[in-house]
């Protein structure tokens, strides 16, 4: 593949709901452009963009893939983006580095949640948008109903630029309103025909609307059109391009990703009406900068300072690590030394290539605006910026949503336990929306992600890529214990074993502290009742007892312990004896101090379409949630704020998806600890007693 100048490059993401036909559309685009000599299929598991064994087995895209093609002297970098909400991190990362979204949707009245999410992300980053209506050959295909929904939801900037020829099973081609010609057939053999007589009136009416849309992008064109002059095809193209760049026009293309109808005209429109990197400069945060916009632009200048953003990392035990980049400015060459500005470390680009799905094409240089990959970089991760040592242009990584779903894992064998940390480290490099934490209080390995499918694929990758088998269990809730009153108690440890005995004796005062204060230990002993060298042993005994809890085995917090009296023996007293005495004293004192169990409370913000507000509020109430307020967020949506116990949020990601048919999203963050209801405390204590009895019976 030859090297293209920035104005001849198109970076386009194929986005939409899972199952809308994105991968097959990419396959037909590649085949039509002769970028591949065969047409793959999802069922056969041989598509260019879904090449990972897990994707082939599940028959869904799990990770974004880059497949370039050449068409009409343009290079088009197609990025196939997963459509399931669990992989929303890819959508944000890709939006950071492409200039346009092609939103794929089925020809039906309702819009799927994946389409709506992709639209929102495109708006956030100021990207150009084009809609491709797929599956027009299906039974019950409803193109007109879909257009009504799009106009109702997004306004008149959504403009049809084609008309379907034939309906449902009779769908055979598209009438292009720019050329006023009919394109029939598929792939490389599309036939061009004149407009059938039954379509003339509709074509002329919609052609006028398309020209009006083109004038939205160019004031000079608008003036010419209003004066009654005829616009040329090139002028309409230019007007649509400007309108699409500025978000004033969203063209609607038609076709079938399964048969290939409409694919060639889509390629034409990508080259003529979707913006190049030159047309869509970015600021450091990745937002597109327009003529009337503000912000410092990073122009796609091959002679400018080098500035590249890593938007994806893959980890393979055999191939090693591969980083994918968009070069925003400058030109790079093989063996260049660049600075990773995020980590202040130097990287040498020894192996540079264009990614073609699972294959690679080595190159000697890359110019601004293009997408490339580099293997075996030592320090670079997703979100990092590579720049010249003197340039120091730092690009913000894509802001990613926080994990909302968690599970615990247990290595199946000792060998799996040994391999687990390094395997997880590689997967963390690969996926920034995946988190791993070691919970010290519950002694569990916790995985956090965007949903059940997300974490299922992580576990499958552990097994398939790194040979690590883990068992999944429920993540424990980090309950805590504390006291509600003050008390005093003695801890006395005396044992005589025939030789030297053990003796330790202390009195302590116990007081509750405010939430979050932790633990305070104070020595108030006077007169030498307990030698000073034994005081630390008492504190150690108290702390160890608190770590194991007093009611249900949870760590005790938010209390002050003061040791104020006691006695010792010149021969039998020891640090071990006073450590035991301290533990006995705190246990006795807690029994008198009204012990209670605390639970973590989560602050939840749920954004949901207005039709589901009542259902969501009702569900939160059943989870012991306390409403904190509601306010409109975007048109047709409401944000609900509530405080909910963490124990009630275990399956919320899945339940909210079910309640809102996938249209609800939420964020959560830790708020505070508070006492559990008495009934819940009784259940936790009973469960602890049962577990302890079973443990003693088996040991």
Which pLDDT tens digit goes with each residue over 58-95?
Answer: 888 889 999 999 999 999 999 999 998 899 999 999 99
CATH number for the domain spanning 350: value is: 2.40.30.10
The interaxial angle of helices 88-95 and 113-125, nearest 10 deg, is 30
Say how many domains are in the chain. 5
- Residue 251 and residue 214 in contact, taking contact as beta carbons nearer than 8 Å: no
Q: Does 566 lie in the same domain as 607?
A: no
Tokens of 79: 């990025």
Same domain for 323 and 443, yes or no, is: no
User: What global pTM score does this model have?
Assistant: 0.88
Contacts of 175 (CB under 8 A, 6+ apart): 162, 163, 164, 165, 181, 182, 183, 195, 199, 203
d(CA 527, CA 535): 14
The pLDDT assigned to 221 comes to: 86
| Domain match, 469 and 494 both | no
CATH of the domain at 159: 3.40.50.300
What does the pLDDT read at residue 307? 95
Rounded-to-integer distance, Cα 46 and Cα 41, Å: 6
The pLDDT value recorded for residue 296 is: 77
Between strands 100-106 and 9-16, the pairing is parallel
At 49, is the pLDDT very low, low, confident or very high (cuts 50, 70, 90)? Answer: confident
What does the pLDDT read at residue 605? 96
698 falls within a domain: no
**What is the CA 289 to chain-centroid distance, rounded?**
25
pLDDT at 228: 80
Q: Are residues 515 and 432 in the same domain?
A: no
Instruction: Pull the structure tokens for residue 279.
Output: 């047309």
Rg (CA), the chain: 32
- Cβ atoms of 625 and 644 closer than 8 Å: yes
- Decide: 513 and 558 in contact? Cβ < 8 Å: yes
SS3 530: coil
List the beta bridge partners of residue 288.
282
**Given this model, what pLDDT does residue 293 score?**
52
Structure tokens at 71: 């068409």
What six digits make up the tokens of 150?
A: 């799009």
CA distance 687 to 695: 12
Between 395 and 42, the higher pLDDT residue: 395
Q: Which of 356, 387, 418 is the last residue of a domain?
A: 387
111 lies in the same domain as 179:
yes
Long-range contacts of 348-355 (CB under 8 A, 24+ apart): 349/374, 349/377, 350/374, 350/375, 350/376, 351/375, 351/376, 354/1, 354/68, 355/65, 355/66, 355/67, 355/68, 355/324
- Examine the fold and report which residue of 415, 441, 473 is the final residue of a domain before the chain moves on: 473
Q: Identify the bridge partners of residue 180 per DSSP, sorted by sequence position.
A: none
Q: Is the pLDDT of residue 187 over 70?
A: no
Tens of pLDDT, residues 475-515 = 999 999 999 999 999 999 998 776 778 999 999 999 999 99
Q: Maximum Cα–Cα distance for the chain, whole Å? A: 116
Tens-place pLDDT, residues 3-34:
999 999 999 999 999 999 999 999 999 999 98
| Residue 617 lies inside a defined structural domain of this protein | yes
Token pair in block for residue 33: 């452009």
Q: What is the pLDDT of residue 290?
A: 67
Q: Where are the beta strands (DSSP E) in 127-231?
A: 128-134, 158-160, 162-165, 173-176, 181-184, 191-193
pLDDT at position 536 = 97
Question: Does residue 2 sit within a domain?
Answer: no
Over residues 195-235, the pLDDT tens digits come to: 988 899 999 999 988 888 888 877 888 888 888 887 888 88
Q: Where is the domain boundary, 473, 500, 516? A: 473
pLDDT for the residue numbered 66: 96
Average pLDDT estimate for 598-612: 95
For 365, the domain range is 307-387
- Tens-place pLDDT, residues 152-167: 999 989 999 999 999 8
Residue 127 is predicted with a pLDDT of: 96
Whether 289 and 283 have beta carbons less than 8 Å apart is answered as yes
Distance CA(451)–CA(62), nearest Å, equals 13
CB contact at 8 A, 71 and 5:
no
219 in a structural domain: no
Mean pLDDT computed over every residue of the chain: 92
What average pLDDT does range 532-538 have in this prediction? Answer: 96
Q: Please choose, from the candidates 91, 92, 119, 94, the residue with its C-alpha nearest in 3D space to the C-alpha of residue 105.
A: 119
- pLDDT of 38 > 80? The answer is yes
Whether residue 128 is found in the same domain as residue 23 = yes
**Distance between CA atoms of 600 and 648, rounded to whole angstroms?**
10
What mean pLDDT is predicted for residues 258-268?
92
Give the distance from CA 698 to its chain's centroid: 43
Residue 332 lies in a domain: yes
- Tell me: do 60 and 153 sit in the same domain: yes
CATH code: domain of residue 568: 3.30.230.10
List of E strands, 177-275: 181-184, 191-193, 250-254
> Predicted confidence band at 295 (pLDDT cuts at 50, 70, 90)?
low
How far apart CA 535 and CA 579 sit, in angstroms, is: 9
Q: What is the pLDDT of residues 307-360, one digit of tens each?
A: 999 999 998 777 788 999 999 999 999 999 999 999 999 999 999 999 998 889
Whether 490 and 464 map to the same domain: the answer is no
- Domain match, 361 and 376 both: yes
pLDDT value of residue 629 = 96
Same domain, 313 and 363: yes
CATH code for position 609: 3.30.70.240
Reported for 200-206, long-range contacts at CB under 8 A and 24+ positions apart, including other chains, are: 202/163, 203/163, 203/175, 203/177, 206/160, 206/163, 206/177
* Residue reference for tokens 């997300």: 454
CA-based nearest residue to 60, from 17, 96, 30: 17
At residue 288, the pLDDT reads 84
Contact 265, 374 (CB under 8 A): no
What percentage of the chain has pLDDT greater than the value 70?
Answer: 98
Return the H-helix or E-strand segment holding 491: strand 487-495
pLDDT at residue 125 in the model: 94
Answer whether residue 514 is part of any domain: yes
The fraction of the chain above a pLDDT of 90, given in percent, is 74
The yes-or-no verdict on residue 291 having pLDDT over 80 is no
Only one residue has tokens 């997004």, namely: 154
Residue 140 in tokens: 């019950």
Cβ–Cβ < 8 Å for 253, 274: no
Same domain, 251 and 326: no
Within a domain: 233: no
> Does 532 lie in the same domain as 457?
no
Position 218 in a domain: no
């Amino acid at each position: 593949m030859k090297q293209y100048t920035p104005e001849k490059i198109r970076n386009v993401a194929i986005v939409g709901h899972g199952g809308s036909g994105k991968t097959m559309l990419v396959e037909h685009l590649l085949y039509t452009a002769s970028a591949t000599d065969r047409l793959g299929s999802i069922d056969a598991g041989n598509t260019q963009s879904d090449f990972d064994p897990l994707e082939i087995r599940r028959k869904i895209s799990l990770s974004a893939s880059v497949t370039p093609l050449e068409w009409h002297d343009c290079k088009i970098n197609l990025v196939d983006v997963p459509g399931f909400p669990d992989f929303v991190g890819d959508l944000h990362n890709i939006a950071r580095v492409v200039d346009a979204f092609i939103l794929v949707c089925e020809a039906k009245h309702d819009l799927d949640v994946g389409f709506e999410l992709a639209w929102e992300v495109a708006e956030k980053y100021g990207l150009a948008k084009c809609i491709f209506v797929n599956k027009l050959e299906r039974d019950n295909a409803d193109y007109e109903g879909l257009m009504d929904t799009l106009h109702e939801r997004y306004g008149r900037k959504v403009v049809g630029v084609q008309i379907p020829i034939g309906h449902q099973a009779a769908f055979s081609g598209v009438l292009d309103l720019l050329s006023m010609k009919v394109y029939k057939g598929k792939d490389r053999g599309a036939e061009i025909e004149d407009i059938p007589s039954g379509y003339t009136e509709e074509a002329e009416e919609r052609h006028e609307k398309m020209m009006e849309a083109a004038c939205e992008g160019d004031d000079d064109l608008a003036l010419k059109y209003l004066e009654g002059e005829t616009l040329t095809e090139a002028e309409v193209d230019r007007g649509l391009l400007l309108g699409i760049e500025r978000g004033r026009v969203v063209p609607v293309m038609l076709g079938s990703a399964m048969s290939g109808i409409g694919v060639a005209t889509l390629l034409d429109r990508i080259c003529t009406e979707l913006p190049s990197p030159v047309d869509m400069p970015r600021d450091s945060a990745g937002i597109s900068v327009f003529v009337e916009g503000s912000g410092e632009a990073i122009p796609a200048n091959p002679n400018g300072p080098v500035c590249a953003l890593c938007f994806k990392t893959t980890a393979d035990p055999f191939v090693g690590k591969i980083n994918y980049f968009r070069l925003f400015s400058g030109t790079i060459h093989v063996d260049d030394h660049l600075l990773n500005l995020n980590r202040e470390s130097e990287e040498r680009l020894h192996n540079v290539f264009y990614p073609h799905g699972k294959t690679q094409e080595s190159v000697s240089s890359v110019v601004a605006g293009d997408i490339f990959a580099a293997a075996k970089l030592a320090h670079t991760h997703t979100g990092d910026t590579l720049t010249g040592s003197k340039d120091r242009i730092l690009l913000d990584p894509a802001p990613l949503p926080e994990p909302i779903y968690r599970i615990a894992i247990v290595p199946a064998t000792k060998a799996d336990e040994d391999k687990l940390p390094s395997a997880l480290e590689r997967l963390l490099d690969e996926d920034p929306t995946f988190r791993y934490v070691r919970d010290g209080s519950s002694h569990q390995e916790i995985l956090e992600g965007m949903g059940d499918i997300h974490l299922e694929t992580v576990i499958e990758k552990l097994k398939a890529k790194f040979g690590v088998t883990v068992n999944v269990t429920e993540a424990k809730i980090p309950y805590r214990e504390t006291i509600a009153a003050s008390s005093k108690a003695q801890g006395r440890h005396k044992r005589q074993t025939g030789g030297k005995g053990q003796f330790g004796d202390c009195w302590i005062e116990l007081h509750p502290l405010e939430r979050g204060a932790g633990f305070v230990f104070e020595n108030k002993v006077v007169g030498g009742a307990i030698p000073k060298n034994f005081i630390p042993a008492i504190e150690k005994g108290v702390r160890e007892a608190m770590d194991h809890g007093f009611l249900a085995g949870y760590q005790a917090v938010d209390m002050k312990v003061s040791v104020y009296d006691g006695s010792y023996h010149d021969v039998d007293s020891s640090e071990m004896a006073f450590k035991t005495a301290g533990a006995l004293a705190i246990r006795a004192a807690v029994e008198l101090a009204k012990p209670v169990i605390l639970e973590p409370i989560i602050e939840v913000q749920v954004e949901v379409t207005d039709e589901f507000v009542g259902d969501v509020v009702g569900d939160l109430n059943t989870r012991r949630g306390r409403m904190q307020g509601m306010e409109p967020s975007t048109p047709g949506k409401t944000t609900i704020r509530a405080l909910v116990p963490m124990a009630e949020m275990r399956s919320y990601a899945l339940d909210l998806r079910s309640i809102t048919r996938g249209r609800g999203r939420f964020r959560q963050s830790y708020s505070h600890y508070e006492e559990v209801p008495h009934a819940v405390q009784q259940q936790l204590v009973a469960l602890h007693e049962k577990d302890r009895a079973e443990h003693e019976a088996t040991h």
